[in-house]
Structure 1
Amino acid sequence: MSDALLSITDLTVTFRTEDGPVEAVKGIDLDVRAGEVLALVGESGSGKSVTAMAVLKLLPRSATVTGSIRLGGREILPLGEPEMNGIRGAEISMVFQEPMTALNPSMRIGDQITEAILNHAGVPKADAWKRAIALLQRVGIPEPERRAKSYPHELSGGQRQRVVIAIALACEPQLIIADEPTTALDVTVQAEILDLIRRLAADTGTAFLLVTHNMGVVADIADRVAVMLRGTMVEVGSTREVLTAPREDYTKKLLSAVPSLPDIATVVERAEAESVPDAVLDMVGASVTYRRGGRSFLALDGVDLRIAPGEILGLVGESGSGKSTLGRAALGLLPLSAGSMTLFGEQVGRGGVGRRRERELRGRVGAIFQDPGSSLDPRMTVGEAIAEPMLVQRRKLPTTATQRRARVAELLDAVELPTTYANRYPHELSGGQRQRIGLARAIALEPELIIADEPTSALDVSVQAAVLEVLRSLQEKMHFACLFISHDLAVVHQISDRVAVMLKGEIVETGSADDVLLAPQHPYSRRLLASVPVPDPDKQALRREARAAARVIAP
């Protein structure tokens, strides 16, 4: 297209590996106009993120890139690092998939945004700091002046993602490449971020290349859609054409894998709540207080929560509501400031069993963390990472190196990854593949309880469906219970037996998955459901209008 801001022609990316060259992108063509939002979709490993990284020349040295990438008519592939440093952040910005790896853990978030501004704008530092505060407010960070002085680990996953978006917006670039920008965001904040992106594209002419697996997000925001499969471009068209009348079988397969909530039930009376017998996890009046600089913040406020053996309990709520804090407390990573907790009928923590017995109990609990990039040791191979729990908790499971290798191969097969991946390192895998490694690691010890914090957040829809099926089948076979923390309400409905809704550190509604997600009683639960995007452009446009009207009417 002659009016394209970004024009990619015959782009090929080849990686040198121990097993020989691997062609990750195979001669694709792609154009993005000024003010356009183009969504790039496909399964993990299809080449989406590699294409995005090639535009900014951020691929490792093992990559060979050929073809043409033009920004505003200027060829950028031959440019050296000094010239690219002038382009990155100023003309093209990027929102990375995993915010914890994109942020400097030793710097306050306000300083990180300020740094991005000062790198490209000749303004006083005080003015840059004020702009940083304004950007935090713009992306929906509460109390931006206070949060600007916080460090990344003090923010929730969703809040960290919003900080990354603020950094990308800092110098008002012509093009923003967003790699899964709403992966860690709950549906209400996701809706706000999508509204923000839409306004930026319309008002400033900023173009967006949006890499995503969320078809609801595509329907909500994208003007056009490009579908990739194994490094090739299989279909490009308007959002309405691709989502409602796809031409290619692969696109149809992707759309059929999208989880969705049924229509809201007309049930008026809810079934009487059933008691939870013999809980594997029982929290009574559980509270967690964070303290910093002489100030305290109650992140978990008197929570009562019980999970029965073999039950999957879905936990939903906005970023910062306390979901991940509850999960970390259940894992023993955070101490309770009040209340009590029992695991498998025995009290742990203050006044509970001794340290040795608690260690034994903790060995019966598996964990899948929200950010696979930061939960896997980059110095360990995939096989070593999966086998590590077997070395730490020596019980009835494989004890010899040969047995452990065989067990690792079984686990990789269970999460639908090739057994050859055991010799790879985390940085050599896509985000979705790393998340599956987290699942394999979690089930390595055949746990009786799994705490899963956003276990499918980095997965495209088809792989997500496969992983959920694997998780369900493993749960039916192994009979483990699961605390399933997620912001994807359709996934929660699909996988959970019961659902609990959190708001500001409290559980405001609990019940069966159908009761809570199809006939919600609490106003907050209803607001969450109203914000869920659907993979139909016309329906989503109506939902967006209704959401906007509700904001206008609301006091």
Structure 2
Amino acid sequence: MSANAPLLSIRDLQVTFRTDDGPVEAVKGIDLDIRAGEVLALVGESGSGKSVTAMSILQLLPSTATRTGSISLDGRELTALSEAQMNDVRGREISMIFQEPMTALNPSMRIGDQIAEALRNHASMTRAEAHAQAVELLRRVGIPEPERRAAGYAHEMSGGQRQRVVIAIALACGPKLIIADEPTTALDVTVQAEILDLIRDLATERGTAFLLVTHNMGVVADIADRVAVMYRGDMVEVGSTTQVLRHPEAAYTQRLLAAVPRLPEADEVQPAAEPTAAGAAPVLSLTEASVTYRKAGQNFTALDAVSVDIAPGEILGLVGESGSGKSTLGKVALGLVPMSGGELRLFGEKVGHGGVRGRAERRLRGRVGTVFQDPGSSLDPRATVADAIAEPLIVHRASHPLSGRDRAARVRELLEAVELPASYASRYPHELSGGQRQRIGLARAIALEPELIIADEPTSALDVSVQAAVLKVLRELQERMRFACLFISHDLAVVHEFSDRVAVMYAGQIVELGRTDDVLLRPQHPYSKRLLASVPVPDPVVQADRRLARLTTRSAA
């Protein structure tokens, strides 16, 4: 292969799926090149063909797919290889980093054994040699105490550490190309920044090529050399990151970028006056709330004397890195995690020890709705959309008595409220897109007309255009129904767009709380400042300066 020849070359790739409704063209004759040491971002909304293209490279398409065209690696035609030959290519020459590390890692195997297994599958070495190499790989990807971590399990690590382990496995055999499918979607911005720095270092120092499949334009601006934009199976635009993100030519690329939420500059927003004190009791009030876990003979504090109120109709954004206590606070509000100290009040009434119990507590809980991060796992795959939405009405039928006919009518109303046709009532979750499933989650959450909704990362798994549509529906519902909302998210731009106030959590405590513009544009606490500095922006020129400042600060520390 000549020095200027691409490492990976795709020509006229077409992929068609057989379905009960006839053939579906998922990829329509695309061309794409990736060179050694290059990070190429493949972007587009759900259904654009990004993942199908990535799986085509690895020859991992389902049996219902028909593929034509050429895919060559280092001049070797991959489409002509047998399954046994492709098994040798996978891992040794092409590796994969998956979106969710917990599903990519075996929970019953030690971390070191999983990395060693990848090594021994493709190289002749003893168990001791493979283990030593596994420890070295953990050290290379920045895992502290690699010897101890190699003996541990996935559930004992944070999300960022698990993603580093997945990267270590992908690196094990020194592949020429790594396909990274949404590698930072589930990570908070500080951990995301560390993973992006690691990927960039690997591309620069080892010459590893990366195909980065993502919907995060800030991530693209941070590390990609070039961008390829897909829409409904077509490649609509390919160019340098600066060209595509700053001067997009395709109308679809322009729409995609317009849907990206962005934090404004501090001087673009005038300081807001302090809100007047609300006369009504808070819908949610936590006072000195603490949660302590017992783990491996030691106490671990997840919440440390946290006090916070949410007023009627208010949206409180809750941000912070993994392990800061955000989700624990949300679970305490929902009654899913017991407090070891402190007090919880819902709608002015104390809940739990020394407060309301039984039916009285159940009636209070009926005034709280929940929207989960992953709509796919929160919906019963065996239940229709109608059954899923009607479930709260059935569980709380004592306080919301409805006949079967009235429940069906209510389901139709709720589908209309989240801008889905009534005909979707008979569908199953697998027949819906991610955005449609999340709208079903919203419909279920508002079924009892709640006064408070707990939304835990409700849009993190969605691409930017679908995310914008879901947020629009959520905002319109909130303005119409005036429910309060605890909005937990690691996307600070979305939090800024959606919240009235913001609380920043770190190490189980709220370190900063105030008006959204004050906290996210003029942060006072050092951790808040570090959090904001880690947010990638979808402008490669601005992001290059931010990355340099971040690395300089890290080196100085």
TM (norm. structure 1) is 0.90
1:104-133 CA distance string (max 9 Å, x none): 344444544443334334444445445545
Q: Partner residue of 2:62? A: 60
Offset of residue 382 of structure 1: 4.9
Structure 2 distance, partners of 1:398, 1:77, is 60
Contact 1:6 1:31 in 2 (8 A): yes
Distance 1:349 1:101, change over 3 A: farther
Q: Partner residue of 1:294? A: 297
Query: Out of 251, 254, 259, which is 1:252 matched to?
Result: 254
* Residue 514 in structure 1 maps to residue 555 in structure 2: no
Query: Out of 476, 482, 486, which is 1:483 matched to?
Result: 486
Contact 1:398 1:407 in 2 (8 A): no
Q: Partner residue of 2:340? A: 337
Q: Partner residue of 1:46? A: 48
Structure 2 distance, partners of 1:160, 1:424, is 35
Distance 1:55 1:128, change over 3 A: same
Q: Equivalences for 1:342-491 in 2 at 5 Å?
A: 342-382=345-385, 384-394=387-397, 408=411, 411=414, 414-415=417-418, 426=429, 431-432=434-435, 434-491=437-494
Gaps of 5+ in 1: none
1:129-151 CA distance string (max 9 Å, x none): 45545545555556655655555
Q: Partner residue of 1:183? A: 185
Query: Out of 2, 19, 34, which is 1:17 matched to?
Result: 19
Contact 2:95 2:175 in 1 (8 A): yes
Partner of 2:210, secondary structure, is strand
Offset of residue 372 of structure 1: 3.9
Q: Partner residue of 2:93? A: 91
Contact 1:224 1:238 in 2 (8 A): yes
Structure 1 distance, partners of 2:501, 2:78, is 52
| Matched letter for residue 278 of structure 1 | A
Distance 1:268 1:178, change over 3 A: same
* Residue 326 in structure 1 maps to residue 323 in structure 2: no
Partner of 2:18, secondary structure, is strand
Offset of residue 33 of structure 1: 1.4
Contact 1:104 1:152 in 2 (8 A): yes
Q: Partner residue of 2:227? A: 225
1:277-315 CA distance string (max 9 Å, x none): 511111111112222232221111111121112111111
* Residue 309 in structure 1 maps to residue 312 in structure 2: yes
Contact 1:47 1:229 in 2 (8 A): yes
Partner of 1:351, secondary structure, is coil
Contact 1:180 1:212 in 2 (8 A): yes
Structure 2 distance, partners of 1:80, 1:398, is 62
Distance 1:408 1:59, change over 3 A: farther
Distance 1:291 1:33, change over 3 A: same
Q: Partner residue of 2:547? A: 544
Q: Partner residue of 2:37? A: 35
* Residue 193 in structure 1 maps to residue 172 in structure 2: no
| Matched letter for residue 229 of structure 1 | Y
Structure 2 distance, partners of 1:447, 1:166, is 45
Structure 1 distance, partners of 2:30, 2:525, is 49
Structure 2 distance, partners of 1:146, 1:377, is 39
Distance 1:376 1:68, change over 3 A: farther
Contact 1:282 1:307 in 2 (8 A): yes
Partner of 1:77, secondary structure, is helix
Query: Percent same amino acid at aligned positions?
Result: 73
Partner of 1:176, secondary structure, is strand
Contact 1:281 1:306 in 2 (8 A): yes
Is the radius of gyration larger for structure 1 or structure 2?
Answer: 2
Structure 1 distance, partners of 2:287, 2:193, is 34
1:21-67 CA distance string (max 9 Å, x none): 22222222222111111111111221212222222233333333222
Gaps of 5+ in 2: none
| Matched letter for residue 243 of structure 2 | E
Structure 2 distance, partners of 1:268, 1:416, is 35
Offset of residue 409 of structure 1: 5.5
Structure 2 distance, partners of 1:398, 1:6, is 62
Structure 2 distance, partners of 1:143, 1:416, is 51
Contact 1:100 1:374 in 2 (8 A): no
Distance 1:511 1:133, change over 3 A: farther
| Matched letter for residue 493 of structure 2 | A
Distance 1:470 1:247, change over 3 A: same
1:371-404 CA distance string (max 9 Å, x none): 4444344444555444444443336769566665
| Matched letter for residue 171 of structure 2 | L
Distance 1:325 1:138, change over 3 A: farther
Q: Partner residue of 2:503? A: 500
Contact 2:269 2:517 in 1 (8 A): no
Distance 1:71 1:432, change over 3 A: farther
Structure 2 distance, partners of 1:493, 1:323, is 17
Offset of residue 507 of structure 1: 0.6
1:43-97 CA distance string (max 9 Å, x none): 1221212222222233333333222222222232354443333222222222223
Distance 1:280 1:212, change over 3 A: same
Distance 1:267 1:103, change over 3 A: same
Q: Partner residue of 2:76? A: 74
Q: Partner residue of 1:530? A: 533
Distance 1:426 1:348, change over 3 A: same
Contact 2:318 2:503 in 1 (8 A): yes
Contact 2:369 2:452 in 1 (8 A): yes
Contact 2:112 2:150 in 1 (8 A): yes
Contact 1:159 1:320 in 2 (8 A): no
Offset of residue 234 of structure 1: 0.8
Q: Equivalences for 1:106-117 in 2 at 5 Å?
A: 106-117=108-119
Q: Equivalences for 1:127-206 in 2 at 5 Å?
A: 127-136=129-138, 138-139=140-141, 148=150, 151-153=153-155, 155-206=157-208
| Matched letter for residue 359 of structure 1 | R
Contact 2:222 2:543 in 1 (8 A): yes
Query: Out of 103, 106, 114, which is 1:101 matched to?
Result: 103
Offset of residue 16 of structure 1: 2.6
Contact 1:439 1:455 in 2 (8 A): no
Partner of 1:20, secondary structure, is coil
Count how many residue pairs are aligned between Structure 1 and Structure 2.
Answer: 554
Offset of residue 264 of structure 1: 2.2
| Matched letter for residue 314 of structure 1 | G
Distance 1:512 1:109, change over 3 A: farther
